[in-house]
Structure 1
Amino acid sequence: MTPEDQERLAKSRFQMLQLLRFTGIIVMILGMWIWAGDILREGGWPALGIPLFALGLFEALVLPVILAGKWKSPPQE
């Protein structure tokens, strides 16, 4: 793999991790809004908002760590 290919791969992986974090935060905000706000029903809807918030939390905090660990290159000797 050429250095240009390695750089392109690293950039695309970095962008993927940032996209996961960003969309996870958006899902968390939407979940909180549904949970506590009056967007879907009066008084909020915790049965839908809490799982949505948890899904966004997983996507923003856990999934990027898992992917980064899988993509990490082996140590160079």
Structure 2
Amino acid sequence: MADEDLWRRRFHLFMLVRLVGLATFFLGVAIIYTDLLREGGWPAVGAILAVIGTLDAVFAPRVLKKVWEQQDSERP
């Protein structure tokens, strides 16, 4: 049962990291094309956030997976 709880927590964290990356990406797009931060949009700031969100959504889960694999290999 403990293994099932561990994997459930890991899955929720994995999905949360992906969703935060996706939300950051969409916030960046919104900043580019809307008057969210200033009138006429702010392409420079929005583009930076969109790229950060994309990188977070793609690479952060991979980093988590590597960390978890390392933790699992150290367990008896």
Please say whether Structure 1 and Structure 2 have the same fold, judged by a TM-score greater than 0.5: yes
**Sequence identity, in percent?**
37
Partner of 1:9: 6
Give every structure 1 segment of 4 or more consecutive aligned residues whose post-TM-superposition deviation is greater than 6 Å.
Answer: none
Q: Which of the two has greater helix per residue?
A: 2
Q: After superposition, give the CA deviation of every residue in 1:11-55 in whole Å (9 maximum; x if it has no partner).
A: 101100000111111111011010122222222102211111112
1:67 matched to 2:64 = yes
**RMSD, matched Cα:** 1.3
TM-score, normalised on structure 1? 0.80
**What number of residue pairs does the alignment pair up?**
71
Extract unaligned runs of 5+ from structure 1: none
TM-score, normalised on structure 2? 0.81
**Following the alignment from structure 1 to structure 2, what is the Cα–Cα distance between the partners of residues 58 and 17?**
14
Query: Once structures 1 and 2 are overlaid, which stretch shifts more, 8-17 or 34-43?
Result: 34-43
